Amino acid sequence: MINKFVNLTIKENKETIRPVFPFTAIVGQEEMKLALILNVIDPKIGGVMIMGDRGTGKSTTIRAIADLLPKIEIIKDDVFNSHPSDVDLMSDENKKALQDGVNLTNSYINVPMVDLPLGATEDRVCGTIDIEKALTEGIKTFEPGLLAKANRGILYVDEVNLLDDHLVDILLDSAASGWNTVEREGISVRHPARFVLVGSGNPEEGELRPQLLDRFGMHAEIRTVKDPELRVQIVEQRTNFDQNPKKCIEDCQKTQNDLKQKIADAQLLLSSIAIDYDLRIKISQVCGELDVDGLRGDIVTNRAAKAYAAFNGKQTVKSSDISKVITLCLRHRLRKDPLETMDSGEKVQKVFDRYLNQKKFRQNDQAQ
């Protein structure tokens, strides 16, 4: 018990003392930043896989996005971060208490940001039996895992391409269903596990299996910045932050608040965004021509386009919104062709532009 208290205290102190690099101070890597913002606006997009060179700020950017999010309301002291009124985001125990008319106390917490280490076991991820209580009190109780802590937050897996396949399967299944079910030694526990799954990795260290890669909603590719002026700017930003984190955070406070408000507005606007039937047809035509397996590509592209339109304060999705997100949604779903000389992202954009131009030509002909 003492060890648990000490570990908790150390963790809390670390979280309060350790400064977070401001998201708006990150130079370049627009593709990665956009993918993260869209997933925060609509977590149902299905997470993002970020692959790129070493030392390109992947981890820094991912940890910075959580700092932009407003606090969430939970049932006080609930280990699953249960929502006070939404039963889909509530544990079975709290759901029953609510049905029985029990008054539940609410509180606000920062959006959870959970790091999943490479050496994590299945029990640590999913949860297991509380051995301490079993030995001292003789009762079987559930000890929540990382999926419980990440509910309604962000679950970050660095070097996801090196993670055991069965753990990746568990993460993706939970992210897709929104629930985690644990069967251990006569105990059956089911709890909500709604989180934005973010994975990062270096392609030189190995690729994910195609069927697993397909389960990530979006895929961002990161390259080392070549422009010397930008490189100097990045180095200066990082140096300034390391020397005086407080001043750096204060200097970015206005832009941080503006972006935070923009994301919050987009979350409220999202449900009212409409996408024209012709544009939905275009998305499916592109997916069909690119030979994308299944319908995940169609669904994710529609969701991402709506989120992007909401982020820019629009009521309806335009073709330019789709053009901005379709590469992120489809590039990792294409079948690998070792003889293909064109980059997968360029291929997606080229096919979409061709269908878009066909529509413009037809409109011009009708006008004439």
User: For the chain, which residues make up each domain, given as ranges?
Assistant: 26-71+110-226, 273-362
Q: Which residues contact 176 (CB under 8 A, 6 or more apart)?
A: 46, 215
User: In this structure, are residues 47 and 197 in contact, taking their beta carbons and an 8 Å threshold?
Assistant: yes
Q: Write the Ramachandran bin of 174: left for phi over 0, alpha for psi from -120 to 50, otherwise beta.
A: alpha
C-beta neighbour count of 52 within 10 angstroms: 20
User: In this structure, are residues 58 and 52 in contact, taking their beta carbons and an 8 Å threshold?
Assistant: yes
Give the residue carrying structure tokens 């970050």: 156
Alpha carbon 9 to chain centroid, angstroms: 28
The residues that bridge with 143 in the sheet, in sequence order, are: 128
Strand pairing class (195-201; 153-158): parallel
Model confidence at 8, in pLDDT bands (50, 70, 90)? Answer: very low
361 vs 128: CA distance, rounded Å: 61
Return the minimum-mean-pLDDT range out of 6-20, 41-55, 68-82, 188-202: 6-20
| Percent of all residues in the chain with a pLDDT value above 70, rounded to a whole number | 87
Q: How many CA atoms lie within 13 A of 121 on its CB side?
A: 4
Q: What is the pLDDT of residue 301?
A: 94
What mean pLDDT, rounded, does the chain reach?
Answer: 81
With CA atoms as reference, report the closest residue to 36 among 11, 55, 63: 63
Torsion over CA of 351, 356, 357 and 363, rounded to 10 degrees? 150
Sheet holding 218-222, edge to edge: 113-115, 153-158, 195-201, 48-52, 218-222
**Residue 93 DSSP SS3:** helix
Look at residue 308 and tell me whether its pLDDT is greater than 90.
yes
Instruction: Pick the catalytic residue from 296, 303, 331, 333.
Output: 296
- The string of pLDDT tens digits covering residues 170-218 is 887 887 788 888 877 677 778 888 888 888 888 777 777 776 777 788 9
Q: Please compute the mean of the pLDDT values over residues 44-55 and round it to a whole number.
A: 84
With CA atoms as reference, report the closest residue to 275 among 314, 218, 326: 314
Which pair of structure tokens corresponds to residue 268? Answer: 């409220």
User: In this structure, are residues 295 and 46 in contact, taking their beta carbons and an 8 Å threshold?
Assistant: no
Q: Which residues contact 274 (CB under 8 A, 6 or more apart)?
A: 315, 316, 317
Of residues 185 and 289, more confidently modeled: 289
193 vs 171: CA distance, rounded Å: 10
- The string of pLDDT tens digits covering residues 248-288 is 888 888 888 899 899 989 999 999 999 999 999 999 999 99
Does domain 273-362 match CATH 1.10.8.80?
yes
What homologous superfamily is domain 26-71+110-226 in, according to CATH?
A: P-loop containing nucleotide triphosphate hydrolases (3.40.50.300)
- Is residue 335 annotated as part of the catalytic site, yes or no? no
Q: What is the pLDDT of residue 1?
A: 43
